[in-house]
Homo-oligomer: A and B are copies of this chain.
Amino acid sequence: MSDAPCPAETGRPAAEAAKADRLRADVLVEALPYIKNYQGSTVVIKYGGHAMIDERLRDGFAQDVALLRLVGFKPVVVHGGGPQIDALLKRLNIDFRFVEGQRFTDEVTMEAVEMVLSGRVGQDIVSRITRAGAGAVGLTGKDAGLIKAARKRLSRPSLEADAPDEIVDIGLVGEPVAINVELIRHLSAGGFVPVISPVGADEAGTTYNINADAVAAAVAASLSAARLILLTDVTGVLDHEGRLIERLAEAQLNELKRAGHVTGGMLPKLDCCLTAVKGGCRAASIVDGREPHAVLLELFTDKGSGTEVTLA
């Protein structure tokens, strides 16, 4: 109770305050079954896109994660950082280009990527979650050998007839080969929130730039997480009439792919969800990160705003 002026003195506002209080209590009580359901569960969230740029969304996201931690969830954040990388590369006068949707990553680019992801983007997320009330710790795949990576081999059909597929050089782009979950588990058990930058290394010590969705999926699978949530800048998968598809089983997804219905950036995201659930994560969804508190709403209401990918 604060020393605020007593509402009893005023007429109307008091009644309104009481109504607001009642609503507040109702909302909290409605959260009960969700809190109970996820007690002690790991929830891996891929954080990126608009939600990472808009100032209000950023603080909202940090509050969501802190709240999850305080009510007994074990949240793990994996973040991207494309625009921030672009900005630094420009300032450093480093040219950059994309091959088949992947950033071509030479050594100087890799250095910049690592610096900006771990040294700026990750640190900003860590600060916000910590200020919101839960101690967050920034990690990269190099910390205690968290992400063992390997060079990603990209191939495309040769332009010449009958020739074998052409290997495309995209430089130091990697994919996660193994996740050493010991450090994540230790931090979660201690009440901390791991915030992971998608950078990994191979045994020889070569550093790789890895797709954040792929890291999130690998982490969720390795931790047998209760949930993987990929925040994106779209509403979810829509059917041919433009309506949101709430659940998408593997078979149905394959059909949509064959029909060419799912394309662009959504395709690899759906594949990441599938990889996660196949690897042991209990449920994986693509959620619209442009909505404020999208994570909270996805986990604390019966109906989320996105598409859940299921095995069957």
Contacts and interface: CB of A to CB of B under 8 A. Distances in A.
Interface of A: 1-4, 6-9, 18, 21-33, 35-36, 39, 60, 63-64, 66-67, 70-72, 88, 91-92, 111, 114-120, 123, 126-127, 130-140, 142-145, 182-183, 186-187, 190, 192, 199, 201, 205, 243-244, 246-247, 285, 291-293, 296-297, 300-304, 306, 308
A29 B143 contact: no
A4 B301 CA distance: 12
Contacts of A139: 137-138
A29 B236 CA distance: 24
A72 B201 CA distance: 27
Complex copy number for this chain: 6
B127 A123 contact: no
A297 B21 contact: yes
A109 to B, nearest CB: 13
Nearest to A120: B115
Contacts of A308: 1
A142 B120 contact: no
B145 A135 contact: yes
Contact of A4 (B23, B39, B302): B302
Given A2-B303, A28-B300, A142-B127, A33 B192 contact: no
- Name the 10 nearest CB pairs between A and B, nearest first: A119-B119, A135-B144, A25-B293, A115-B119, A27-B27, A115-B115, A186-B190, A36-B133, A2-B302, A118-B119
A71 B133 CA distance: 14
Contact of A21 (B3, B134, B301): B301
Nearest to A21: B297
Given A28-B28, A293-B25, A303 B1 contact: yes
Contacts of A306: 1
Contacts of A291: 18
